[in-house]
Structure 1
Amino acid sequence: MLGQLHDWGYREADEAAAGLTELLVRTAVADGGRRVSVHLADQDRQALIVALSHLPGLAAAGTAVLPELTGLGAVSCGTDTAEDGRRVWAVLDL
């Protein structure tokens, strides 16, 4: 993930990006599914990092992780549950 941000020309937010990614993945793994995917996008000097648990049938998404994401530097974050599992995401200024 950091390698892709570097390829896109962003190097200033390595620590925040790594911390956010770790927490997002830990949150998705805690759902107990067999796999997790991480998605990354950039636009207007911001990165969107999303972790998906791929565990269908979860109850409504909890929000306990949101203050932690904000504390790690997310300018926006959220979580939701859909047919394909729980998504938890964070936007980071680059």
Structure 2
Amino acid sequence: MSWPMDAGRLPDYPPKTPPPPKRPVQPPRPEPDTKPKSTLTPVRRRVMMARRRGVAWTLEAQPWSAGRARKHVVGKLHDWGYMSVDTVASDVVALLVANAVADGGRRISVHLADQDQQALVMVLSHQPGLTADESVLPRIAELGVSSCGTDTAEDGRLLWAVLDL
């Protein structure tokens, strides 16, 4: 008796799985910003002193920070060759730092730059949510600075003064 070759043969087990896709599935691409450029809120640029000598120090917001900042600023001005500004620079730095410390942040930063026989001293309080306080400007102006100002933004209050060297 002859039996057919495929009689009694079971189907392939386990069944074959389909091959994986050639490219992995990608998430949808982000939609481009459809807002017109004019309605976007402007972002304040960070402190930038380009094309001039400049240094910066970060200090704790403590009452003793004014003395340390004065030493840093006067020492750097001496390094740059400005020897006759000790008193004015010390008084200006002390007043700027004292007001930044009074803002209540954890740290302050002191920035110094010079150009054309003038020095720029800036102190940033790093305490967000402050309102503009211009009551300190007359006291800074009494110290004999060329100009001074204040600015508030999300990253804190910025106080600055320009000294004639």
Q: Taking structure 1 as the reference length, what is the TM-score of the superposition?
A: 0.96
* Aligned AA (1:5): L
Which has more radius of gyration? 2
Query: What pairs with 1:5-84 in structure 2 (closer than 5 Å)?
Result: 5-59=77-131, 61-84=132-155
Structure 1: tracts of 5 or more residues without a match: none
In the alignment, the residues of structure 2 paired with residue 73 and residue 4 of structure 1 have an alpha-carbon distance, to the nearest angstrom, of 20
Identity of aligned residues (%): 65
In the alignment, the residues of structure 1 paired with residue 89 and residue 83 of structure 2 have an alpha-carbon distance, to the nearest angstrom, of 10
In the alignment, the residues of structure 2 paired with residue 8 and residue 83 of structure 1 have an alpha-carbon distance, to the nearest angstrom, of 33
Structure 2: tracts of 5 or more residues without a match: 1-72
Over aligned residues, Cα RMSD in angstroms? 0.7
* Aligned AA (1:4): K
Where 1:57 maps in the other structure, the secondary structure is coil
Q: How far 1:74 sits from its partner (Å)?
A: 1.0
Q: Taking structure 2 as the reference length, what is the TM-score of the superposition?
A: 0.55
Runs of 4+ aligned structure 1 residues displaced above 6 Å come to none
In the alignment, the residues of structure 1 paired with residue 146 and residue 136 of structure 2 have an alpha-carbon distance, to the nearest angstrom, of 14
In the alignment, the residues of structure 2 paired with residue 27 and residue 74 of structure 1 have an alpha-carbon distance, to the nearest angstrom, of 17
